[in-house]
Amino acid sequence: MTASAPRDEFLRTLAGRYDGQIVVSVYTTCFEWMAIRPDALNYVAVGAMGQAGSHALGLALGRPDQEVWVFDGDGSLLMNLGSLVTLAGAKPKNLTHFVFQNGSYEANGRAPLPVSHAIDFAAMARAAGIADAQQFSRPEALDLWLSSRARKAGPTLVDLRVLASATSYPQRYDYIHSAQARDTFRNALKVIPQPGASHG
């Protein structure tokens, strides 16, 4: 399966199906998502490569009433592949892990991954114990899948074969590492009522 569309087209497809999910995203994908779909429920404070899925797991466990999307990079996920096994063990139904595979460490100067061939993350996810693993190279196919997908059907991994975006987006490192970003998310999550929580 070969990449045929830029990452921002996939992100616009996801934005079109967005329905209040918490979105945990990393680096280049994060900058593009913040521009395409700015929202207080964007969780941008992942801190280090390889950590996105783990932040998402914490959010999914802490707020099982919410859907959580992760927009990860291939280089990032490869730094903590074991997190797929952790995800399979924890079984959060409300977590979908999208991997944007472009074959390079784009935020670090576009240096290539150690291999030049595409990596079958969907097969890796299945081998880890995540039964629902998908793979798409066209935004239209992703859109079709999203349109028919039930909520809380996870955990799911979606391997997206993407090209680098042609458009340049602002690289807002200062924002993603800021207290403002964390406070914005925290306050947005706090006001979403939790089923069964007492109010008073």
- List residues binding another protein (CB under 8 A): 43, 45-48, 50-51, 53-59, 61-63, 80, 82-83, 85-86, 89-90, 177, 179, 182, 185-186, 189-190
Q: Which is nearer to another protein, 6 or 50 (CB)?
A: 50
Rounded to whole angstroms, how far apart are CA atoms 48 and 26? Answer: 9
Least CB distance from residue 50 to another protein, whole Å?
7
**Residue nearer to another protein on the CB measure, 61 or 144:** 61
| Nearest-approach distance from CB 176 to another protein, in angstroms | 11
Q: Which is nearer to another protein, 24 or 122 (CB)?
A: 24
- SS3 of 164-178: the string is CCCCCCCCCHHHHCC
Measured from the CB atom, the residue of 10 and 43 that comes closer to another protein is: 43
- State in angstroms the smallest separation of the CB of 46 from another protein: 7
DSSP code for 106: G
Whether 143 and 13 have beta carbons less than 8 Å apart is answered as: yes
Least distance to another protein from the beta carbon of 194, Å? 9
Q: What is the four-CA torsion angle of 47, 50, 55, 61, rounded to 10 degrees? A: -170
Residues 169, 130: Cα–Cα separation, whole Å: 33
